[in-house]
Chain A
């Protein structure tokens, strides 16, 4: 069993990114094997405390996947999520974590490739951070 410290938590908006993740699977695109998806009805429901707690519990990276601006089914959930992520990136730096460990991207349900892309890029970045530490 892999250690928690190498895990990436992905908060997936059920309106868009969750379906994009399915599409990535359907197309057989390769994904990092340390990705764990948390389904949320809207990224508006991803609180600062959820993200901070994930890091506290040892997550190596957190990705929030929201709908594009002005495409949120709940109108502003994605905008609020972005504000929180931006705020939290500052906090991460203050507590000595690299801000690259937390990212937010916008996805549409038909963007399977983009899902694979952002997931892999986070995994790559974390790998780099890991080797820099060593």
Chain B
């Protein structure tokens, strides 16, 4: 790598973007990492460790390690709360227009001491850390909850902040940046299961999504039924919710969810040994090494039901009744569960289309971004724009890491050849 420094922009601070950023920075490229949310890590930063007695290889810990590395890396500039608004070619590189939404807390100053939250008069708090273990480790103001933004004369946080990091008058900032290369790693959005009415999401309190299960374990350290806060005695996972489903126009496999359900099932059985777990599935998809051996272990602890449920009903006594076809027995069955987890699929990100237009890249029929050639390169346009991770189609953490690194390598290789 040439010593005259080259610059790269990475859009998206999930695991693919973080892997790419680290590799580029380790190779002497000046990296700006743009993240739409107030903290990096993506959905993965909200997932839980799924180890039972042993590691079940969910790789979620890698997201923590990557976040720590990014936070400490002197070669990476992190712009949270920011989005790319424009991109124009400039020489061999690009001029990028960025817009940073106000955070109202200067993350360069905030020491995450927590005083503001303590003194904030609203409940739930309006000024807070995006989540425990947040990078940047800085507070932000949730405008929807903040009294000041509802016309009240409250400036408690600004007044108590010992380092004067809070600025309630902060405005959005536009900036431009010249870079030699861009990596798009904008990730995905989980499928919204309320679109599938038969599964009762939104109507039945005890039907939750995969992400909600992850968050319960990560931030509460346990699994409970939303209706009454009690530990569930029986849990069902329903696979392929919004995946492999032509009616939802998501006719692809989301790849992570079978392994998610099986790992989570082991976690539940480890934490709540009295709780029965069932998994309703279509085809079990392999993930990781030695999957069959893993499956054999899970099979001893979990009831696999080879059927897709028809409908769910809520009853006061039996919990949620799942109706399904017992195929071997040739009859329709019903089974009650305390908690139902929908293994929701991966769908293109909210603003995927707009961003594609801004960047001049293409999305396929399914809405995921496409590379321009099928020779294995991650190039997404004629210029130096590359793709990495789930913005390009469903991926698990490990594949996203490998792809992030590959994209970084392609960037380094391109920038080297230009010298």
A and B touch in the complex (CB under 8 A): yes
From B54, B61, B132, B220, give the contact of A16 (CB < 8 A). B61
CB interface residues, A 65-117, toward B, < 8 Å: 67-71, 106, 108-114, 116-117
From B51, B53, B132, give the contact of A108 (CB < 8 A). B51
Q: Count residues of chain A with CB under 8 A from any CB of chain B.
A: 21
A131 at the interface (CB under 8 A from B): no
Tell me whether A110 and B48 are in contact (CB under 8 A).
Answer: yes
CB interface residues, B 15-70, toward A, < 8 Å: 48-49, 51, 53-55, 57, 60-61, 64-65
B155 at the interface (CB under 8 A from A): no
- Among A3-11, A19-27, A39-47, A54-62, the stretch that binds chain B is A19-27
Interface majority SS (helix, strand, loop, mixed), chain B: loop
Tell me whether B64 and A110 are in contact (CB under 8 A).
Answer: yes
What is the 8 Å Cβ interface bit string for chain A, positions 25-39, against chain B (1 contact, 0 not)? 011000000000000
C-alpha gap A117/B65 in the complex (Å): 23
* Distance of A45 from chain B, by nearest CB (Å): 19
Beyond A23-B132, A69-B55, A106-B53, whether A117 also contacts B221 by CB under 8 A is yes
Tell me whether B48 and A68 are in contact (CB under 8 A).
Answer: no
C-alpha gap A71/B220 in the complex (Å): 23
Q: Which residue of B lies closest to A70 (CB)?
A: B55
* Distance of B219 from chain A, by nearest CB (Å): 8
Q: Which residue of B lies closest to A69 (CB)?
A: B54
Q: Which residue of B lies closest to A20 (CB)?
A: B49
Tell me whether A19 and B132 are in contact (CB under 8 A).
Answer: no
C-alpha gap A116/B220 in the complex (Å): 12
From A19, A26, A71, give the contact of B51 (CB < 8 A). A71
Tell me whether A26 and B133 are in contact (CB under 8 A).
Answer: yes
B145 at the interface (CB under 8 A from A): no
How many B residues are at the interface, by size bracket? 10 to 19
Contacts of A68 in B (CB 8 A): 49, 51, 53-55
Beyond A26-B133, A68-B54, whether A114 also contacts B61 by CB under 8 A is no
Beyond A27-B132, A110-B61, A112-B132, whether A70 also contacts B54 by CB under 8 A is yes
Tell me whether A19 and B64 are in contact (CB under 8 A).
Answer: yes
B218 at the interface (CB under 8 A from A): yes
From A27, A109, A117, give the contact of B64 (CB < 8 A). A109
B197 at the interface (CB under 8 A from A): no
Contacts of B51 in A (CB 8 A): 68, 71, 106, 108
Tell me whether B61 and A109 are in contact (CB under 8 A).
Answer: yes
Tell me whether A71 and B60 are in contact (CB under 8 A).
Answer: no
Tell me whether B133 and A108 are in contact (CB under 8 A).
Answer: no
What is the 8 Å Cβ interface bit string for chain B, positions 319-356, against chain A (1 contact, 0 not)? 00000000000000000000000000000000000000
Q: Which residue of A lies closest to B64 (CB)?
A: A109
C-alpha gap A27/B221 in the complex (Å): 11
* Distance of A63 from chain B, by nearest CB (Å): 17
Tell me whether A112 and B221 are in contact (CB under 8 A).
Answer: yes
Contacts of A114 in B (CB 8 A): 221
Contacts of A70 in B (CB 8 A): 54-55, 57
* Distance of B383 from chain A, by nearest CB (Å): 38
C-alpha gap A16/B51 in the complex (Å): 13
Tell me whether A111 and B221 are in contact (CB under 8 A).
Answer: yes
B164 at the interface (CB under 8 A from A): no
* Distance of B78 from chain A, by nearest CB (Å): 19
Tell me whether A113 and B221 are in contact (CB under 8 A).
Answer: yes
Contacts of A106 in B (CB 8 A): 51, 53-54
Q: Beyond the given A106-B51, A106-B53, A108-B49, please list 10 additional residue pairs across the A-B interface where CB-CB is below 8 A.
A: A19-B64, A23-B133, A27-B219, A68-B49, A69-B53, A69-B55, A109-B61, A110-B133, A111-B221, A113-B220
The 5 closest A-B pairs by CB, nearest first: A113-B221, A108-B49, A71-B55, A69-B54, A68-B55
Subset of 9 A-B contacts with CB under 8 Å: A19-B64, A22-B133, A27-B219, A68-B49, A106-B54, A108-B61, A109-B133, A110-B218, A116-B221
